[in-house]
């Protein structure tokens, strides 16, 4: 939604009939006159919702939003006590389309503006942070809503009886699902917020709350570009969905966090090297047992990572991506820092010779030999574009272990 930058939008609120309130004094009269001129212009130049707009779409909108269209963007910003410039920044950050000065906003839009502005006025958020909150929430929920409509509601709105149309089924279905999905969304958000907060407060120091040391892994389907030329669109979509679903389930089940999916690629992070290694090998093993899936390759790096809006950035992330591009099929490559970390935690020996020595020493003392989950094999050093020369390590599961 775009908003005309006329006026500051502060101090005046719409009267019950939608017109401006009058304030006492010459300054108030001047402000009111300016608002009157603006309203007169928007009635001529602005556009109300098209009279040919689908009636069912309007009914569904009213059902989902729980309120009727009442305000133009200018009126909503003024009613919320927010400047036109800030209202425009908030709306665009949330991902809403430009609507000129059409009367398409509701009381909920006014309340959302008022809440964001109130957080800024109270000093709880800076203006830049409030815009970031709006953008991150808008981007995440937009993708969620698109997925639910494309993959969820389409399947459920198949007409149950001959002669019925999908549109006749949609309204009562949404009416039934809406409160349940809303409560479930809030529940999942609170759970995720609690988990994320717990991870942050356990950081060693204040700097680690923003720039943290994590293991970052990329998993990439081999030959995906060739597949796109050979497979039908529907088949390709099913393959991508199966890959993303399998990867997401494995990452979550073993204690990692799925950062994002990019069709043929998955980016995940873990707080420790052992978790990241287990996820990588499970991905390789699971995909290898599925004949419908192409080969997979994984690259992992360990180091300082900057987190912003649920994403991760920095040299560590770039290195993990580069390692993925040079990894053999059905194999996991890690960087030196990751190899050192997995040795430090006792999940892998520094070398097989060291493992043999440790086993012999334990046997001599009548003790149990060290139990290693993973094995590391140094590979040839090679130049990596943008990162100089790196020494990758091949990560495998120790023989005899599941």
User: What does the pLDDT look like over 152-170, one tens digit per residue?
Assistant: 666 666 666 677 676 677 7
- Taking the whole predicted model, whether its pTM rises above 0.95 is answered as no
Place 211 in a pLDDT band, splitting at 50, 70 and 90: low
The residue extents of the domains of the chain are: 26-156, 208-397
Termini Cα distance of the chain: 55
Place 329 in a pLDDT band, splitting at 50, 70 and 90: very high
User: In the prediction, which pLDDT does 333 show?
Assistant: 96
User: In the prediction, which pLDDT does 43 show?
Assistant: 40
User: In the prediction, which pLDDT does 210 show?
Assistant: 54
Domain 208-397: which CATH class? Answer: alpha beta
Q: Is the pLDDT of residue 16 over 90?
A: no
Q: Is the pLDDT of residue 401 over 70?
A: no
Query: What is the per-residue pLDDT across 369-384, written as a single tens digit (0 to 9) for each?
Result: 778 899 999 998 888 7
User: In the prediction, which pLDDT does 151 show?
Assistant: 66
- Spatial separation of the C-alpha atoms in residues 310 and 136, rounded to whole Å: 8
Query: What is the per-residue pLDDT across 47-70, written as a single tens digit (0 to 9) for each?
Result: 444 445 778 788 888 888 888 899
Which has the higher per-residue pLDDT, 17 or 370? 370
- Spatial separation of the C-alpha atoms in residues 392 and 233, rounded to whole Å: 36
Report the pLDDT averaged over residues 189-215: 73
Structure-token pair, residue 217: 């892994």
Which has the higher per-residue pLDDT, 309 or 198? 198
């Amino acid at each position: 939604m775009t908003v005309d930058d006329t006026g500051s939008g502060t101090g005046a609120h719409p009267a019950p009939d939608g017109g401006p309130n009058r304030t006492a004094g010459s300054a108030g009269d001047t402000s009111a006159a300016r608002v009157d001129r603006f309203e007169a212009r928007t009635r001529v130049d602005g556009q109300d919702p098209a009279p040919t707009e689908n009636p069912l779409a309007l009914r569904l909108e009213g059902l989902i939003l729980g309120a009727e269209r009442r305000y133009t963007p200018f009126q909503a910003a003024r009613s919320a006590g927010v400047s036109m410039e800030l209202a425009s920044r908030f709306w665009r950050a949330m991902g809403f389309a430009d609507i000129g000065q059409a009367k398409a906003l509701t009381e909920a839009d006014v309340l959302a503006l008022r809440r964001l502005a109130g957080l800024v006025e109270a000093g709880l958020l800076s203006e830049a942070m409030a815009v970031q909150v709006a953008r991150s929430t808008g981007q995440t929920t937009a993708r969620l809503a698109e997925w639910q409509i494309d993959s969820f509601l389409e399947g459920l709105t198949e007409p149950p009886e001959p002669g019925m149309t999908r549109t006749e089924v949609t309204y009562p279905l949404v009416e039934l699902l809406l409160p349940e999905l809303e409560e479930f969304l809030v529940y999942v958000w609170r759970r995720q917020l609690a988990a994320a907060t717990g991870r942050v407060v356990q950081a060693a120091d204040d700097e680690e709350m923003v720039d943290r040391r994590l293991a970052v892994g990329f998993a990439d389907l081999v030959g995906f570009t060739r597949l796109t030329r050979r497979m039908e669109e529907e088949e390709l979509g099913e393959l991508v969905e199966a890959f993303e679903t399998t990867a997401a389930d494995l990452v979550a089940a073993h204690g990692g966090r799925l950062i994002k999916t990019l069709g043929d690629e998955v980016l995940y992070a873990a707080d420790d090297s052992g978790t990241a290694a287990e996820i990588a090998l499970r991905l390789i093993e699971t995909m290898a047992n599925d004949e419908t899936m192409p080969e997979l390759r994984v690259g992992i790096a360990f180091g300082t990572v900057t987190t912003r809006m649920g994403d991760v950035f920095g040299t560590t992330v770039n290195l993990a991506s580069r390692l993925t591009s040079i990894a053999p099929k059905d194999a996991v490559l890690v960087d030196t820092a990751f190899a050192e970390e997995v040795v430090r935690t006792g999940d892998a020996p520094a070398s097989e010779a060291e493992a043999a020595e440790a086993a012999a020493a334990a046997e001599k003392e009548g003790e149990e030999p060290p139990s290693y989950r993973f094995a590391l094999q140094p590979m040839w050093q090679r130049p990596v574009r943008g990162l100089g020369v790196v020494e990758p390590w091949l990560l495998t599961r120790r023989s005899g272990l599941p």
